[in-house]
Amino acid sequence: METRAGHTIKHQLDIYKKELADELGNILNYWMANTVDEQDGGFYGKIDNDNTVIPASPKGSVLNARILWSFSAAYNQNQDAKYLAMANRAYQYIIKHFIDADFGGVYWTVDHLGNPLDTKKQVYASAFTIYALSEYYKASGVAEAKNYAVDLYKLLVDKSYDKERTGYLEAFTKEWQPIADLRLSAKDANEKKSMNTHLHVLEAYTTLYSIWPEAELRVRIETLINNFLDHIINSETNHLVLFFDEDWNKRSDTVSYGHDIEATWLLLEAAEAIEHHGLIEKVKQQCIKISEVTKKGLDTDGGLWYEYEPAEDHLIKEKHWWVQAEAMVGFYNTWQIGNNEEYLHLSLRNWAFVKQHLLDIKNGEWFWGIYANGDVMQTEDKAGIWKCPYHNSRACIELIKRISRQ
């Protein structure tokens, strides 16, 4: 017989699940209603905070891959035909415009007409495309999608994998030659290896493994998990190191709270996918440690701050949408690991923060974020190179799954 507390938790989870299901519908409805580019194909490259389409904006491979993943995953959860139709649209656009038929890999951007624009091969973008194609294969059964995913994986191993030191190098020219500027964005350090790329290569490989459970891929997932345990997670602070040189020497002290909490559940998902029980236990213990230090980034309203610079003792007092989405899942995952109810309440409080501050009730979707004084970050995108339906839809999908299994 359940205790009174048990009844309370069940009631809270029932409400949480219903609200997340409603919000998932809201997010996907926004993207269906506002982002489809009927004139030039695919999806608009940029929509501002007030829902104004910015004409002739470049179209990003990461945005398009994340659209493909979100609608494929949503279809896999509830078999709504309109989600599969959106996934089909995204898939066809990616194959036609982003895949480099000559040298392999995906372009970083194309112009609004679909012509190659920034043709560098960012490993991060290839990872998201593998991730999306694998999820789309589950939704559609289109064998070509699986073949593209496997080919992209083999290309990454061939061109990007550091056979001497392990890990993946960040970026290359169109022809997969060395490139001077390795950065994903202007705010990033220009270094050979990054936490962010490795995290999403791991996520991509985990999803690929669910449709293509090859022994070699299993070993590569295991190696990536060990990269995190041995290099990327700072054993002294339990925060993730963001940048490295090719020898895994640390090149950054910045704390990214969103990536810290995101890594906890993605690492455990990967270890469980390959059924490596030794790594599962190691990762679970590490997840608890990371979650504990991530709590330092929480504000009193339940929101999670963006970044912290230890050298200057400087907290970047912004609360970005994606950081909150990862906190919702990450803290929930930590509750599941150790049954410490504090983490469940952190997940619930974060969702309460999102509902109060980040949901754009008037125009739809989530705001990019808010400043310390509560003002919305008005100049940021509602949709764009980085503002995609992935973090928030994934949080809804993942939590609905987890609550359904409780």
**3-state SS of 246-300?**
CCCCECCCCEEHHHHHHHHHHHHHHHHHCCCHHHHHHHHHHHHHHHHHHHHHECC
pLDDT value at residue 1 = 35
Closest CA to 232 of 267, 188, 181: 267
Report yes or no on whether pTM surpasses 0.75. yes
pLDDT single digits (tens) 38-56: 999 999 999 999 999 999 9
Pairing of strands 318-320, 314-316: unpaired
CB count within 10 Å of CB 256 equals 22
Q: What is the pLDDT of residues 325-342, one digit of tens each?
A: 999 999 999 999 999 999
Average pLDDT over residues 362-376: 98
| Nearest one of 230, 239, 246 to 191, comparing CA atoms | 246
Amino acid identity of residue 357, one-letter, is H
Q: What is the pLDDT of residue 6?
A: 61
Segment 215-221 mean pLDDT? 98
Tell me, letter by letter, the H, E, C secondary structure of 51-108.
Answer: CCECCCCCEEHHHHHHHHHHHHHHHHHHCCHHHHHHHHHHHHHHHHHHECCCCCCECC
Domain residue spans of the chain: 4-405
Integer Cα distance of 232 and 211 in angstroms: 27
3-class SS at 110? strand
Give the model confidence (pLDDT) of 99-152 as tens digits: 999 999 999 999 999 999 999 999 999 999 999 999 999 999 999 999 999 999
Q: Spell out the CATH class of 4-405.
A: mainly alpha
